[in-house]
Each structure stands twice: as C-alpha cells, then as structure tokens.
Copies of this chain bind each other. A is one copy, B any other.
C-alpha cells in the first residue's frame, strides 16, 4: 500500500490536484478521543495556499469534512474518513504540461511508471496530497499532547543562504515565535531577511529551498525498534516521503562525521532521578530507540522546481522543446512545509508509541 503510512495508527491518502477532492482515511485511532473538525481545520489552515503574501495565491479554503469514525464528538475506534474538496482548479494553466515534461518534476517519471498520467497540476504528485497528512497529523498531535505530554515543533533554520545564527537555536521555540512571521522562522531578524529573499526570487521568476529543523520534547525513553524500524529510520522515511526533500539528518548529522568519538559521545549523567545525557549529539535516539532527550532532526528541501523562466525539456513524443511554467506556485515551499513536517513527525511517534506498548506493556511477567 504505497499510499499508506504507519502500522497501527495508519493513514491512507488519496486524491489529485485537479480531481474533485483529496482526502485521507485513518485506521487505528484510539476510541473516545474528543475531536472536532475545527481542530483539524486549524492545522490545515497553516498548510493552506493563499494564507500569506509569500505563498501561492491558489485560492483554496481547504474545508475539511469528517465522513466517518466520529460519533457525538468522540472518535469511535473505526476509520476516520476526511474529505477536502478541490475548489480553485485551473486545468487550462496546465495544458502545456499535457505534452511537455517539467524539469525536476514528477511528470516524466509518472509517465514512465504508469504509461499515462493526470498532468493537471501534477496530479497525484502535487503537494495537495499532503492535506491528508496534515489532517491526520492534527489528530496524532492531539493524542500525543493530550495522552503523552509530547510537543512537536518545526521551523525554518535556513532559506537559500540565509541561516539562523547557531546560538539563537538554544531553547525550544514557542509556537507563537514560529507563527509570528509567514516564513515560520522563530528568529525575527532572520525571518525578515527570508521574506525579502522570497520576494526577490519571486520577482525574478525563480525559487529557493532551505532547511527545516524539527524538535520534539516529552518523548519517553523506549520508543523505536531495534534493527529496521529504528525511530530515526522511520523519521527519515517520513521526511524523504515529502515532496522536494533531498536530505535528512538527526542530532550531529553530517557535521558530526568530522568529530572524533571522544568529542562526539554523549556522556550519561544522573539528573533529576533519571538517566540523562550531558550533551545531545545523538539527537534523542540511541540504537534506534528514544533516550528521553529532545528529538532534533533537520530536513533539506530543494528549491521549488516550478519557475517562471524558460527551460529546456522534452515532450511526450521525445522531441526537445522549451517550457515556461505558468500556473500558481510557491517560490519557496518551506513555510507551508512546516506543519507537514510536524504532522509526519507526530504520525511516526504515535505509531511507534502504540507499537512499543503493544509489545512491552500488555503482558507483564
């Protein structure tokens, strides 16, 4: 099931950019969770196009409808089906893409794989697919917060060559700090520079990428599995499953490869009655299993493939040609990707929490 994610708390997304709707089915949600559409809507609004002057102007309200699994305001333990109608479709803007493959998009690979494709707005490869992830992630975040005291926070640390100063990243950023600017960078001065950069590249018909960092606090020690389903392995998969991502690193990451073991190891210490580490180069995970420290990882996003400059390409008949995108797009996807990163993180954590409990907490000998 390539369109499903998770083993116990499982989501299955469906829908194309210019089809009638997109949606998600959530299987395995614990029963009796209070849940209102508004709570899901709040997260969707963070992902929504048209939310600020620096994102795509495609006008979508992205109103979510709960079709099943909730009765009298509480989850029932049965599948939760969520639906969002597509409204502001402009397939005519994509007429040229019926014939031509957009560079660094999924047009050619879908054609190669399936032998046909819905070319309108990228079809299934559109980031509108992530609506289902964010909607499901809203539920996962609520369960983690309500049931486990876990807080997930993603934010921009770098856009193009503008990066938050290292010393500014010491504390756990508040949601208010992140949401203070439309770029979702909690460091005000950096955020201002990022906004300027977006405006500049948009004027030039160009685009930029960057890095999102995600931190999670409140994760108990013990989540994640030995061997293949390590917590960082599933986080890496979750992040690389997002459109436009090119890299993932946890804790010390690539920079840590330049340290010696004596510099890199996190010494254990007894603190507040618990086993804690003095440093956190491990990023909250050791041997694939959470150690109770803050989870810290980063995700690399390439610059948006859609640019408004003419590009060389090939058409479906194999002939070389040229193409200049029209269509609406984000000159930088990262501000809207922040809630998506949080959603996927919450989905991974919740699923591992449930798996851990199933194996280790049901029967005690």
Q: Are A268 and B110 in contact (CB under 8 A)?
A: no
Which residues of B have CB within 8 Å of A283? 246
Which residues of B have CB within 8 Å of A311? 265, 267
Q: Are A354 and B360 in contact (CB under 8 A)?
A: no
Interface size class of A (residues with CB under 8 A): 35 or more
CA distance A106 to B12 in the complex (A): 26
Which of B79, B238, B260, B261 is the one whose CB lies under 8 Å from A12? B79
| A–B complex contacts, Cβ < 8 Å, 6 sampled | A2-B355, A12-B12, A108-B291, A261-B306, A268-B312, A354-B362
Stretch touching chain B among A45-53, A188-196, A297-305: A297-305
Which of B109, B302, B365 is the one whose CB lies under 8 Å from A30? B365
Stretch touching chain B among A54-62, A167-175, A313-321: A313-321
> A185 interface residue, CB < 8 Å from B?
no
**Quick one: given A33-B365, A114-B77, A365-B34, are A270 and B146 in contact (CB under 8 Å)?**
no
> A118 interface residue, CB < 8 Å from B?
yes
Q: How many copies does the complex hold?
A: 4
CA distance A313 to B31 in the complex (A): 25
Which residues of B have CB within 8 Å of A221? 108-109, 112-113
Report A349-365 residues with CB < 8 Å from chain B CB.
Answer: 353-365
CA distance A356 to B125 in the complex (A): 17
Contact flags A135-150 to B (C-beta < 8 A → 1, else 0): 0000000010011100
Q: Are B312 and A269 in contact (CB under 8 A)?
A: yes
> A32 interface residue, CB < 8 Å from B?
yes
In the complex formed, the residue of B with least CB distance to A76 is B118
Q: Are B362 and A357 in contact (CB under 8 A)?
A: yes
A47 to chain B, nearest CB (A): 16
Contact flags A9-38 to B (C-beta < 8 A → 1, else 0): 010111110011111010111111110000
For the complex of A and B, the 8 pairs showing the least CB-CB separation, nearest first, are A106-B287, A2-B225, A247-B249, A207-B261, A147-B363, A358-B358, A109-B289, A237-B237
Q: Are B261 and A253 in contact (CB under 8 A)?
A: no
CA distance A232 to B240 in the complex (A): 6
A235 to chain B, nearest CB (A): 8
> A251 interface residue, CB < 8 Å from B?
yes
Which residues of B have CB within 8 Å of A252? 246, 302
Most buried by B among A106, A117, A158, A161: A106
Which residues of B have CB within 8 Å of A158? 257
In the complex formed, the residue of B with least CB distance to A208 is B260
Beyond contacts A3-B227, A268-B313: 20 other A-B pairs, Cβ-Cβ < 8 A, are A1-B1, A4-B12, A8-B358, A14-B25, A14-B78, A15-B81, A16-B71, A29-B359, A31-B116, A32-B116, A32-B365, A108-B268, A109-B287, A230-B240, A249-B300, A261-B306, A269-B314, A270-B319, A357-B361, A358-B362
Which residues of B have CB within 8 Å of A20? 65, 67-68
> A290 interface residue, CB < 8 Å from B?
yes
> A327 interface residue, CB < 8 Å from B?
no
Report A305-355 residues with CB < 8 Å from chain B CB.
Answer: 305-307, 309, 311-314, 318-320, 353-355
Q: Are A359 and B28 in contact (CB under 8 A)?
A: yes
> A124 interface residue, CB < 8 Å from B?
yes
